[in-house]
Structure 1
């Protein structure tokens, strides 16, 4: 392992470590361009655009497709030509009087020129000037802000993150317009140089949590980061656990709400999925819509989700255990019905249920991977046709098809897809235990899962909190959702100092008789 870490991240062709790029920018622009053209040899998307600023030769360097051509024309070339014909060109003059772009910097190093060009910035080199001017004119073809496809709501904002880093941070800044919202930037990936942003609210997020997040990110040494899932696997506490320990979301309102509870968010350039840490088990059963509609309705729906969580996890195992070992627990009429339906079935109950569960998962995966219109048809028609044909052919019994269908529907009630996947995986071991040991095996497997949840941690926070360890004050936003005027404190495990969320005594009350507005 040590040998791998030492050798795999130091490629011989690494640009920023070469002797050429370690040099400083020379006064003669021809020398600089010669070095840069050699470094970007066979890179057809790197544009070297020469032009004259008065009588002085200059170059613009950028990646074709990364920049806004109109911004370069307006702020880069045209003003240089118009304003510098009679000026002695210096870096300060260019920065202060010419390039009217808000994000502007300078560097005397060629390696920083290379790095900034590859990040999508535009670099200006002028003959006789020993500093390169770097300005942000990013543009190109990017997907605009649209409604998230994986977290659709009936009531709530319709905007979702995109694949661009700065528009994503702007969406969060639009929600939290406070100077306490801090955004730190880093690059990860030896080859991809993927930009990431770490967001937290100063005074709410514990400094130890922020330091731990930065420390784990600093330890990542890899050739490329193409999606936030890469980072999730590197920073989670227990990589062998099937349960997700980092929440991901496409919604800016979800990120803003979690930042205001003392959590930290990680935005990765190139993906709309933002990471939120730390995460607890109950977070994955909460939807944004829980907080946008009346609390009575969504308290009922939360309890319904927890009930169907138990169904999705244990129902196939209980069915196999009861029909195999505990027939005396089944009502007589139902037992006769099940026995009659299984009369011609050649497989034991366990294999029958296993065949149907695997078939259901295959149909669901096929529906996801196919184009959206075709996938929906395949999922619905495949389940109906295959289920009906299997029953008529005597391969499976009708009660088994019903049990598998209820289990599948129950898994769809879990709002977060990654948690739903974990529950779907765990029901197979419980089915095996139920087929081997009956209800004792199902209970034993369920206790193992609960013990694991109680031991699991996410960035030091108990994963099953506030149920274990129990916090009665924080239970008001777990199985139930109390009214907003009753949620006056932030989570105690996350925020230690500024825990007051709102003013006291905000509970609405009807006007007294005789007051203005009373009837």
Structure 2
């Protein structure tokens, strides 16, 4: 943790001077050229002078006037409920930088840190990146304490633990690790805290910094932590024995450990009826394969395996490619790169015009490319279906990983045909098998002999059937206390 700078000839760990003027000089020396630091001198009737030091914009000016300055001028007790004694200059600096005003009095070697912080913050809104038809509409904000309060409001138990630390030499960003005691394995929590404690960096501006610095395999295209801005998703994972990392200044929290299937599960899966959620989940898995393999299969079949295509379809495809000057590999890469560029342009443009430009651009460019004979109509259809398939992935970062891997698969298909695709799939599966998320295998569910683990992977079982929590690391509370027997007729359910 950063050691705040001290005035010349004085260590920051030393106690405060009894002389108020000397303490003020130390503050002014440290905060030289800082126009937002305010020094408010207060004359106490018949009892000397006091000094308030705070940062304008981080302190509650109205509260200072009513609860501190006015009572002091009348020699009355302060009405601030949140106040802490500070004995060293280092502690004074830490509180001031945290937005808490410091009150010093002449003749005393201790000050008061006043809990009168106030700054502009965004209100609670619906998450724009994780919208759902059914479910809570609240999302995290950039304020850490607001985010932890949202979790507390859902998990009303003293076993919910939230441990804080500060990371960043200059930013001193607050990081909170949340978990449910008794559900999360203690070794997991210790490992998370140990990895966070080893971070040495100037500043943390977003949770992506933390994710990149603590994941097991930083060179993998697949994320090993789940990022979400939904409190219900975080609480659902906490109740399954996972831990959450919340960062001041960002609405995105991190969840660890995860598996590959965690990236393919939507929070809405648990709010809809289990039959509907299962069908949608199967559809999601199918389109994930389409997103990864559809262009490469088309290139492989068209280049090496024409005998696999029915005769009438092959004639139709050949006639559409009659004027195309490029091989199928170049044609696929050209269209895929163009589509990805249009998609990224739509994301970066203002919301009012971004979606319209990306859709209109794809239609216009695709139609013009076909008429100019640069690409064939079937290739435009394949790329469009691939793009639609990629939108089925509920996690944006997982969708990007699949989009990245699509290009090497196309190269393998254009070079070796279906053999190249099989080699790519084998290499991908081996890589996924080697990945770990805080010690948990990335494909751990597929490697377990326990069929009960599939109840929330291959399909979404009804809640009364999911009696056990997923097995993660070490010891854990195996049974969900709320998981009862199958509902009977007296409760409107089935008998048996």
* 1:177-188 correspondence to structure 2 within 5 Å: 177-188=156-167
Rounded to whole Å, the distance in 2 between the matches of 1:101 and 1:399 is 71
For 1:105, what is the secondary structure of its paired residue? strand
1:310 to 280, 289, 300: 289
State the partner residue of 1:23.
Answer: 14
1:120 to 99, 105, 128: 99
State the partner residue of 2:34.
Answer: 43
Rounded to whole Å, the distance in 1 between the matches of 2:9 and 2:457 is 58
Would you say 1:375 and 2:365 are equivalent positions?
no
Rounded to whole Å, the distance in 1 between the matches of 2:373 and 2:98 is 61
State the partner residue of 1:149.
Answer: 128
Give the Å deviation of 1:409: 0.6
Native 8 Å contact 1:145 1:162 kept in 2: yes
State the partner residue of 1:94.
Answer: none
2:190 to 211, 224, 234: 211
Rounded to whole Å, the distance in 1 between the matches of 2:276 and 2:262 is 18
For 1:489, what is the secondary structure of its paired residue? coil
Rounded to whole Å, the distance in 2 between the matches of 1:291 and 1:267 is 23
Rounded to whole Å, the distance in 1 between the matches of 2:125 and 2:6 is 37
State the partner residue of 2:23.
Answer: 32
Give the Å deviation of 1:441: 0.4
| Bigger shift: residues 148-157 or 56-65 | 56-65
Native 8 Å contact 1:346 1:395 kept in 2: yes
Native 8 Å contact 1:262 1:495 kept in 2: no
1:322 to 272, 278, 301: 301
CA shift in 2, pair 1:512/1:430, >3 Å: closer
Rounded to whole Å, the distance in 2 between the matches of 1:440 and 1:120 is 62
Q: Which runs of 5+ in 2 are unaligned?
A: none
2:49 to 51, 54, 57: 57
Would you say 1:133 and 2:125 are equivalent positions?
no
CA shift in 2, pair 1:300/1:364, >3 Å: same
Give the Å deviation of 1:308: 0.5
State the partner residue of 1:70.
Answer: 62
State the partner residue of 1:251.
Answer: 230
Would you say 1:98 and 2:78 are equivalent positions?
yes
User: 1:50-87 deviations in whole A, cap 9, x for unaligned?
Assistant: 22233331122222111222232333223333453xxx
Native 8 Å contact 2:4 2:90 kept in 1: no
Q: Which runs of 5+ in 1 are unaligned?
A: 1-8, 85-96, 514-519
Give the Å deviation of 1:46: 1.4
For 2:477, what is the secondary structure of its paired residue? coil
Give the Å deviation of 1:47: 1.6
Runs (4 or more) in structure 1 with deviation over 6 Å come to none
Rounded to whole Å, the distance in 2 between the matches of 1:34 and 1:136 is 24
Taking only aligned residues, the RMSD between alpha carbons, in angstroms, comes to 1.9
CA shift in 2, pair 1:363/1:148, >3 Å: same
| Bigger shift: residues 127-136 or 358-367 | 127-136
State the partner residue of 1:449.
Answer: 428
Native 8 Å contact 2:241 2:472 kept in 1: no
Native 8 Å contact 2:4 2:94 kept in 1: no
Give the Å deviation of 1:101: 2.5
TM-score with structure 2 setting the length:
0.95
Give the Å deviation of 1:135: 2.5
| Bigger shift: residues 277-286 or 72-81 | 72-81
1:388 to 357, 363, 367: 367
Would you say 1:331 and 2:278 are equivalent positions?
no
